[in-house]
Every structure is written in structure tokens, then in C-alpha cells.
Copies of this chain bind each other. A is one copy, B any other.
Amino acid sequence: MLKYIVGIDVGGTSIKIGIFDLNVILLKKWDIPTNSSESGKYILEDIYKSLAHKIEDFDEVLGFGFGVPGPIINGMVFQCVNLGWKNYDLIGAFSKFINNPYILVANDANLATLGETTMGAARGYKNSALLTLGTGVGGGIVTDGNIIGGAHGSAGEIGHLQVIREFGRSCNCGNTGCLETVASATGIKKTYLEISKQSNIESSLKQFENPSAKAIIDAAKHGDLIATLVVENFTYYVAYACHVLSVTTNPDIIIIGGGVSKAGKYILNKIESHFRKFSYKPVRNTKIVLAELGNDAGIYGAAALVKNHG
């Protein structure tokens, strides 16, 4: 009898594995380290061995969902630099260990969006989008309950929305002025250093050589003027990204996740306040909320992918 769904989130340093019931309720979760040596050829075997210790009867598993940190094109892993995978047939490779009709794979940020939409901050909604503000800026879009993958696996790559069209900072993607260059933790630190250098205003942050994004946001919460300018700057650009989402896929709800979002309501209110000012009127009431599932969003989404298709 079918009892379980397995959700797997393959990261560059560790792999999260979750066993869920058929309603995507998490029953058990654990991590294993990622062995990316020899073009990542041991990764799936490690996952299989780890699962074999926890699951007695693989016939009780409806399916296995995988999230990977790279684009998926036509079911193939196009490239995952951190894992050593390139044009990798994950589904075929994992089928050698376990014969199951529902071995599915999707991009990890897209699955995090599906996870938050199924069981997290956007549960009950069919149209959503996620923006994760972390070391970089990622995203994903769900419409009518399904992930949008896109032609090149680049749907939801909202971190590479060009928000500054002239004289923007260089981005890792090779462009300039991407949202990621201003709204990631790294971007926030750079904005602070730029404003700080150009100004004689007193700031509680000047005691630190290179304050973290968290320290900057905390200082803003306590009224530090330079830190407040930095926060106004990046929340404005995040709000612009929300505007872009609202006139393209028009989600019911936009979820803000990632490390930067841990600053909570303070950040959320700033993003909302900017968004309400310039969003297209018919979508001005789009909900904007904080993510709820943290690092588990990916395994929830991987399990939800199986549930949607199984």
C-alpha cells in the first residue's frame, strides 16, 4: 500500500531528505553530506543508501521528488556547477537504484515556491511567487498550483531582473544592475559601504569595518540614519520586483524568504509600503508575506511535486 512520498533537496554542501505522508505532512527528515567528487557520480547512490536505512519497503513510496540547484530543461539537469552535473539524466540514473514511475526533478528555488504554496506561507493559494533574499537572490513562480519552468529553465530568475539600467553594479551573471546586486546580503553590505564612504553622518555601524546585512538592518531598526537609507534602498527594489511579478503572472500572494527576510515584519512592511505606492491598481492588494518553512521549503516542494503528478 502506498504510504509515503520522499522529498530530496540536493545542495552543494548537504542533501536534505524528507519522508512525507501522502498529504505532504513531514514525518521524518535528515541531512547527508554532498560528495561532489568525480562529477557528482556518487550523489544518487549516497541518497539511495541513506534511504534504504530508513525505508523498509520501497513499494510503499508513491514517488521521489528531487530539487537541484540549476536549471532543468526537458526533464534533464542542464547544469549544476556545485554538484558537477551537466546535461545529467537524474531520473534515468536514479531509476537504476529504485524502479518507480514518479521520479521527478525540478529547480530547487521553484520547488521552494511550491513547498511554501502547498504547506507554508501561501497555503490555500493557487498563484504565488517566492523571492529569496540570501547570499544571492532567487525566486520561483507557481500558477494554477504548478511550477512555471520556462523555456530555458529560467522562469522565476527574478534575481537577474535588471532593476538599475545604467551604472549598476556588476552581477555574477555577467550583467549589471540585477536585483541580486542590491537586494542580496552582499548587495546590502555594498550599498552600506558606498553610502557610508560618501557621508559624514554619524552611524553606530562605523565601529565595524565590514558590518553584516543583519547588523545593518538591526541598526536601521534602532533608527540609524545611514542604515535606514540602505534598507529603504533595497526594499524599494524588492518592491519593484513584486510589481514586475504582479503585472506578469499576477500572483495572489508573494512570499519573501531567505536569510535577509529573518529581519521579519520590519522589512516586510517597508516592501509593502513601496509596493502599494506604484503597483498597478487592480493588483495593489496583492498579499506580501514572510516565508514559513525556512530551509525545509525545498523538501516540501519536492514532495508536493510528486503529489501533484502522482
Chain B residues with CB below 8 A from A175, complex form? 278, 280-281
Q: Does A298 contact B (CB under 8 A)?
A: no
Per-residue B-contact encoding for A146-174, CB less than 8 Å = 1, 0 else: 10111111111110111001000000011
Contact at B150–A249, with CB atoms within 8 Å?
A: yes
Cα(A252)–Cα(B154), bound, Å:
11
Q: Does A16 contact B (CB under 8 A)?
A: no
Contact at B143–A286, with CB atoms within 8 Å?
A: no
Give the residue of B151, B153, B250 whose beta carbon is less than 8 angstroms from that of A151. Answer: B250
Instruction: Give the distance to chain B from A166, nearest Cβ to Cβ, in Å.
Output: 10
Q: Which of A222-252 contact B (CB under 8 A)?
A: 240, 243-252
Contact at B248–A280, with CB atoms within 8 Å?
A: no
Contact at A151–B247, with CB atoms within 8 Å?
A: no
Which residue, of A151, A152, A162, A286, has the highest number of chain B Cβ atoms within 10 A?
Answer: A151
Q: Known contacts A155-B249, A250-B152; is A278 also within 8 Å of B165 by CB?
A: yes
Contact at A248–B158, with CB atoms within 8 Å?
A: yes
Give the residue of B141, B144, B162, B278 whose beta carbon is less than 8 angstroms from that of A243. Answer: B162
> What are 9 contact pairs spanning A and B, CB under 8 A?
A127-B151, A143-B155, A148-B250, A154-B280, A155-B249, A155-B250, A156-B250, A173-B280, A249-B249
Instruction: Give the distance to chain B from A51, nearest Cβ to Cβ, in Å.
Output: 30
Instruction: Give the distance to chain B from A65, nearest Cβ to Cβ, in Å.
Output: 18
Cα(A178)–Cα(B143), bound, Å:
24
Q: A interface, how many residues as a size bin?
A: 35 or more
Q: Which 10 pairs across A and B sit closest by C-beta, in order of nearness?
A: A150-B250, A151-B252, A155-B250, A160-B280, A154-B250, A248-B248, A127-B151, A157-B247, A154-B282, A161-B247
Instruction: Give the distance to chain B from A201, nearest Cβ to Cβ, in Å.
Output: 24
Q: Does A71 contact B (CB under 8 A)?
A: yes
Q: Does A283 contact B (CB under 8 A)?
A: yes
Additional A-B contact list (6), CB under 8 Å, known A151-B252, A157-B282: A141-B248, A143-B150, A144-B148, A165-B240, A173-B280, A244-B248
Give the residue of B153, B178, B278 whose beta carbon is less than 8 angstroms from that of A162. Answer: B278
Chain B residues with CB below 8 A from A143, complex form? 143, 148, 150, 155
Chain B residues with CB below 8 A from A144, complex form? 146, 148-149
Nearest CB in chain B to that of A280: its residue? B160
Instruction: Give the distance to chain B from A131, nearest Cβ to Cβ, in Å.
Output: 12
Cα(A146)–Cα(B155), bound, Å:
15
Contact at A150–B251, with CB atoms within 8 Å?
A: yes
Nearest CB in chain B to that of A176: its residue? B278
Contact at B244–A154, with CB atoms within 8 Å?
A: no
Q: Which of A164-206 contact B (CB under 8 A)?
A: 165, 173-175, 178
Contact at A152–B283, with CB atoms within 8 Å?
A: yes
Cα(A282)–Cα(B286), bound, Å:
29
